[in-house]
Amino acid sequence: MNITWALLMMTLGGVGVQPNHHDADMNTAIQSALKPPVIAQHSNNSGGNGASASPVPGATAAPGTAAPDSAIHTDPQPDAPKVKGIYVTAYSAGGARMEQLLDLLDKSELNSMVIDIKDDTGYITYKTENTELQKLGKPQPFIGDINKLMERLKKHEVYPIARIVVFKDSILAQKNPEMSFVNKDGSVWANKGGDSFVNPYNEDVWKYNVAIAKEAARLGFKEIQFDYVRFPEGFEKRAETLKYTKSDRPRVEIIADFVKYAKAELEPLGVRISVDIFGYAASVPAAEGIGQDFVKISKNVDVISPMVYPSHYSTGWFDVKEPDLDPYATIKGSMVDTHKKLGPLGSYKPVIRPWIQDFTASWLGSGHYIKYGKKQVEEQIRALKDQNVDEYLLWNANNRYTSGVDYEK
C-alpha cells in the first residue's frame, strides 16, 4: 500500500504496545518519520548510500564525533550460533523462574537469553564494584550473584546477551539533571508515563553506558544489546523549550555516532553490538524527531533487532486489515521492507534478528487481537524463514513463554 497513506492510517489508528517494553508513543515517532530529516553525508562511503562505515578495528572516537571509517566489517563472534532467544528480566535471572527458563532452553531449539543488565528505569541490575557507576547510577542486586549467573548460563550452553537501556534512564536523569532535559521550572522532564530520558548530546551519558557495557563484556556476555537508542518520543515538539546541552548536528547523526562510538570502544573486548529499533523504521523515512535512521544505525552494528510484533502495526499495514490477527503476513511484510532497506549496505549489512511476539495484545480491543499461542508464534517463525531470516528473539514482558512451540518451523 502507499506508504504515506499507511503512515497516516497508523497515526490515526494508534498502536498498542505491551506494558513495560519499548513503551514509546509510536504515533509521535511516525509523525516524525513523515518529515524527511536533514542528513549529513560521509565523504568516505564505499557503499554509495550515504551511511557511515564501521570504525577502524581497535580505534576509538571522542563522544560526539564519528569514528574513522574502515573497508572491512568483520564479525567479532564468528563462531556464534544462529541465535534463537528469549527476553529475561533481571528479576527472573536472579530468581526462581530462571530454573523454568533454563529448562525451556534445555528442551528446545532455543539457545540464547537477552538479560537486563541496565533496565528500563535505569537500574544497574547487579552489584558492581565500579565506583564511577555507583556514583552516577543506582545498582540494585536483582541478580544477587552475577558471576554465579554467568557460570550457570555457561553450564547450560546459553549464548548470553546483555540488554542495556541507554537513553531512557530515570535514575541517571534524576541524580544528574545536567545529563537530562530540564523544564523551565528546573524540574527534570518526564513523558506521559513518568519516565525521564538522558541527553544523547551529552558525552558523559555515552561514556556511562559504554562503561556498563564493558563490564558486561568482561563478565562474559558475548553480545551487548542497546535499547532505547533514541531521543524521547515527540522530541521535536519540545526541542526548543527544554534546557539541555546540544549542538547543531542532526539528531539522526548523534544517535548513529553513539552507536559507532560504542562499537569502537567495545571492539577490543570481542563482543557483538546489537541495537533494538522500531520495526516500522524499515518501512518509512528516517524519524528525525527521535533521531533514528534504520540504515545509519544498521551499518554500525553487528546485529539489528527490529521490533516487528504484529500488535505494533495498525490497520492496512502490508495490506493486512488487522495485523495482529495475521502474524504470518505481517512478519513477512516487515521482512520484505527490512531487506529492501538494508540490501544496499552489501558487506556492511548486519545480522537481522527481529523481536517477535509471544504475548496477547488484549489492549487493542475486541476484534483487533487474538490470543497468541503455539500457532501464532510458529507462524511468525515460518514467515521469517520464508524471508531467509533464521534468527529471532521472543518477547514476553513477564517471561512466560508458550510451551510446545516448534522453533524450527
Residue position matching grid coordinates 547523526: 253
Tell me the C-alpha distance between 328 and 147, whole Å: 40
Q: Which residues pair with 114 in a beta bridge?
A: 87, 161
Report the DSSP pairing between strands 355-357 and 392-395.
parallel
The whole-number average pLDDT for the span 48-64 is 35
The model carries a pTM of 0.86
pLDDT at residue 60 is higher than 80: no
The whole-number average pLDDT for the span 2-18 is 36
Tell me the C-alpha distance between 318 and 260, whole Å: 32
Contact (Cβ atoms closer than 8 angstroms) between residue 229 and residue 277: yes
* Reported confidence tier of residue 287, pLDDT bands at 50, 70, 90: confident
- The overall average pLDDT reported for the chain is 86
The whole-number average pLDDT for the span 336-359 is 96
| Better pLDDT: 13 or 309 | 309
Contact (Cβ atoms closer than 8 angstroms) between residue 50 and residue 69: no
Q: What is the grid cell recorded at 342? A: 538494508
Provide the pLDDT for residue 277. 96
pLDDT at residue 227 is higher than 90: yes
Provide the pLDDT for residue 222. 98
| Better pLDDT: 181 or 1 | 181
| Fold topology of 3-36+79-395 | TIM Barrel (3.20.20)
Tell me the C-alpha distance between 15 and 207, whole Å: 33
Provide the pLDDT for residue 409. 77
- The secondary structure element, H or E, covering residue 126 is strand 124-126
pLDDT at residue 303 is higher than 80: yes
The domain ranges of the chain are 3-36+79-395
* Reported confidence tier of residue 8, pLDDT bands at 50, 70, 90: very low
Tell me the C-alpha distance between 291 and 40, whole Å: 13
Tell me the C-alpha distance between 149 and 158, whole Å: 11
Quick one: residue 316, left, alpha or beta (phi over 0 = left, psi -120 to 50 = alpha)?
left
Tell me the C-alpha distance between 147 and 337, whole Å: 41
Tell me the C-alpha distance between 401 and 59, whole Å: 41
The whole-number average pLDDT for the span 180-199 is 97
* Reported confidence tier of residue 57, pLDDT bands at 50, 70, 90: very low
pLDDT at residue 45 is higher than 50: no
Contact (Cβ atoms closer than 8 angstroms) between residue 146 and residue 219: yes
Q: What is the pLDDT of residues 144-171, one digit of tens each?
A: 999 999 999 999 999 999 999 999 999 9
What is the identity of the amino acid at 97?
A: R
Report the DSSP pairing between strands 303-307 and 159-165.
unpaired
Q: What is the grid cell recorded at 131? A: 565506583
Provide the pLDDT for residue 63. 54
Give the lowest-confidence range in 7-21, 31-45, 272-286.
31-45
Provide the pLDDT for residue 37. 31
Provide the pLDDT for residue 10. 34
Tell me the C-alpha distance between 202 and 182, whole Å: 14
Provide the pLDDT for residue 72. 58
Q: What is the pLDDT of residues 87-139, one digit of tens each?
A: 999 999 999 999 999 999 999 999 999 999 999 999 999 999 999 999 999 99
Q: Which of 117, 221, 110 is nearest to 102 (CA)?
A: 110
Tell me the C-alpha distance between 301 and 303, whole Å: 6
Residue position matching grid coordinates 517477535: 356
